Amino acid sequence: METTDNDRAGDTVLIGPNQLEGFLGIPENARGLVIFAHGAGSSRFSTRNNLVAATLRSKGLATLLFDLLSEREAADRRNVFDVALLSERLIEAMHWVRAQGTIRHLPIGLFGSSTGAAAALAAAARMPGQVSAVVSRGGRPDLAGPALGAVRCPTLLIVGGADLQVLQLNEEALEAMSCEKRLTIVPGATHLFEEKGALESVAEDAAVFFSDHLGPPEGRR
């Protein structure tokens, strides 16, 4: 699967005090903004996340894909799995969004993959009322630990049907959550959703979920 320049549509931006690089794409009349939290070893260039982001933009949702760690930080593997640090970077990104005139009014959703899903849920737990929805793709929500019980926003966990170990971890995490929640299983898909049509299914499910819960910006300014 190749990523085209159109898939990465958006302006290059610098996020937060660490000046982390990102891509901000804003479709006309955007009614919400989704911030992406990639998994271990990935970045704002993630082919899979960019495909999902392109689908979200086609549905009227702005997207922000950014590197949660600097190049120096990413070289230390401990940081890659530091959920507290990654969630802090997501919160910094949310503060950055609220300081931008063109998008500050948009309701925010978080899309997390692998360890990024745990970071997204931990950030949502720490920012009640600021995150409107969370979607996890092949995520490790279990790594969010006690924060799972503090998540208040609607949450969708998407897992491949052939990704058995991660599926079990997601089922257990779902039980630990008390918010509006749903688990969607993509039949036959493995962890990276490389099977034909699997990632497209994830993108469509995420688009519907975010569209339902982010809503129009009127009244949120």
pLDDT at 30 over 50: yes
- Indicate yes or no: pTM above 0.85: yes
Backbone φ, ψ for residue 54 (5° rounding): -60, -40
Q: Give the phi and the psi of residue 63 in degrees, each rounded to 5.
A: -135, 145
pLDDT of 218 > 50? The answer is: no
Q: What is the DSSP secondary-structure string of 148-207?
A: GGG--S-EEEEEETT-HHHHHHHHHHHHH--SSEEEEEETT--TT--STTHHHHHHHHHH
For the chain, give percent helix, strand, coil, nearest 5: 40, 20, 40
Structural domain boundaries in the chain: 11-214
CATH code linked to domain 11-214: 3.40.50.1820
Task: Using pLDDT thresholds of 50, 70 and 90, give the confidence band for residue 16.
Answer: confident
Residue 41 has pLDDT above 80, yes or no: no
pLDDT, one tens digit per residue, over 144-192 is 999 999 999 999 999 999 999 999 999 999 999 999 999 999 999 999 9
C-alpha 74/C-alpha 71 separation (Å) is: 5
